[in-house]
């Protein structure tokens, strides 16, 4: 497999595309905004199974989307992979994806986790992490609880402009409407322990250190700390507890990692095979065991001790397309609330 950064990559991909039709069937040009080392095993296994070599460019989603757009009909890219429904929707809005025509994907991926042009292959939940020494579990059972004045000075979060928080707000907007969502955002801001900063792991560390009593974090960050053998990470997890929010109402918010086949893909047959491979039991296990994400395919058995320890939960069944559609409105709500 070739792994290339965005500089010299285009020349290599162009050579691949310029080959014979037979060679094209054995090549897949992947533009990926997933930055997980564990995905290497996922890609290597696909090549072993199919003989299709993966040429991969890895960069930020905005950079990749701009490249695909600028390359136009001559783009060598076959598939775009990224995390978060909004980022996938952005590619769709730019008219970059071809329709997904695959009975395999339709049968294996639930309706709410795909659109006509792109599909999710793994999910991650937005959980509440709290410090039992500072906050009672009964007071943080729902996302809405984080706006309760009794938590004033207790809440840590990352930027409101980050897609993880925008997606959560998009789900709340769909369920609760604009007025209630804005009231929630304002209440949340009023409860900040400090100005938003850092990533999800930083929020968990802040809760453990007593800088705040409660925070929002994606589940795979929690699972990563749970699986760590570092003494400092074990100490962090000993100091915090996790709540699956909204189990008696809408269910816990989940976001996705996914992708789509690009409309100008020169290796469409290889692209379809790869997308269907990502929905296979074997690939689904890679997502779970390698990066602590949940499979989207029902009934897949994983061997991830952290996911097992976190247990089962009721997930929000909102369609990923609606998550993407609502995010521009949510950003305006957050701006008015002062969640920068």
Instruction: State yes or no: pLDDT of 309 exceeds 70.
Output: yes
Instruction: Give the tens place of pLDDT for each residue, 64-107.
Output: 999 999 999 999 999 999 988 888 988 998 999 999 999 999 99
Instruction: State yes or no: pLDDT of 6 exceeds 70.
Output: no
Q: Where do the domains of the chain lie, and which CATH numbers do they carry?
A: 2-122+257-301 (3.40.190.10), 124-253+314-337 (3.40.190.10)
Instruction: Give the tens place of pLDDT for each residue, 145-198.
Output: 999 999 999 999 999 999 899 999 999 999 999 999 999 999 999 999 999 999
Instruction: State yes or no: pLDDT of 60 exceeds 70.
Output: yes
Both tokens of residue 43? Answer: 């890609």
Question: What pLDDT, on the 0 to 100 scale, is given for residue 278?
Answer: 97
Instruction: State yes or no: pLDDT of 10 exceeds 90.
Output: no
Any idea what the Cα angle at residue 240 is, between residues 246 and 291, rounded to 5°? 75
Closest CA to 293 of 247, 226, 199, 224: 224
The DSSP string of 156-201 is E---TTSHHHHHHHHHHHHHH-HHHHHHHHHHHHHTBSS---S-HH
Question: What pLDDT, on the 0 to 100 scale, is given for residue 25?
Answer: 53
Burial class (CB in 10 A: 0-12, 13-18, 19+), 132: exposed
Instruction: State yes or no: pLDDT of 8 exceeds 70.
Output: no
Question: What pLDDT, on the 0 to 100 scale, is given for residue 322?
Answer: 85
Determine contact, residues 242/127, Cβ cutoff 8 Å: yes
């Amino acid at each position: 497999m070739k792994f290339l950064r965005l500089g010299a990559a285009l020349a290599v991909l162009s050579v691949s595309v310029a080959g014979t039709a037979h060679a094209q069937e054995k090549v897949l040009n992947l533009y990926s905004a997933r930055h997980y080392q564990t995905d290497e095993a996922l890609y290597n296994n696909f090549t072993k199974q199919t003989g299709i070599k993966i040429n991969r460019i890895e960069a930020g989603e905005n950079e990749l989307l701009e490249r695909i757009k600028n390359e136009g009909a001559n783009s060598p890219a076959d598939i775009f992979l990224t995390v978060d429904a909004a980022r996938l929707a952005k590619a769709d809005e730019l008219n970059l994806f071809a329709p997904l025509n695959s009975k395999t994907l339709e049968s294996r991926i639930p309706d709410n986790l795909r659109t006509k042009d792109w599909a999710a292959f793994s999910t991650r939940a937005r959980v509440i992490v709290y410090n039992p020494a500072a906050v009672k579990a009964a007071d943080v059972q729902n996302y809405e609880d984080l706006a309760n004045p009794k938590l004033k000075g207790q809440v840590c979060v990352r930027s409101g402009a980050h897609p993880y928080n925008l997606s959560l707000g998009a789900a709340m907007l769909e369920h609760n409407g604009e007025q209630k969502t804005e009231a929630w955002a304002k209440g949340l801001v009023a409860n900040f322990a400090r100005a938003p900063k850092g990533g999800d792991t930083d929020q968990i560390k802040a809760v453990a250190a007593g800088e705040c009593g409660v925070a929002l974090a994606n589940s795979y960050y929690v699972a990563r700390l749970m699986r760590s053998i570092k003494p400092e990470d074990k100490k962090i997890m000993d100091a915090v507890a996790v709540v699956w929010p909204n189990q008696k109402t809408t269910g816990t918010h989940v976001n996705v990692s996914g992708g789509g086949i690009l409309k100008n893909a020169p290796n469409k047959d290889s692209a379809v095979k790869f997308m269907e491979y990502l929905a296979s039991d074997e690939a689904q296990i890679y997502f779970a065991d390698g990066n602590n994400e949940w499979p989207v395919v029902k009934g897949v058995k994983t061997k991830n001790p952290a996911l097992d320890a976190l247990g089962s939960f009721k997930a929000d069944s909102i369609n990923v397309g609606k998550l993407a559609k609502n995010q521009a409105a949510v950003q305006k709500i957050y701006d008015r609330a002062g969640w920068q």
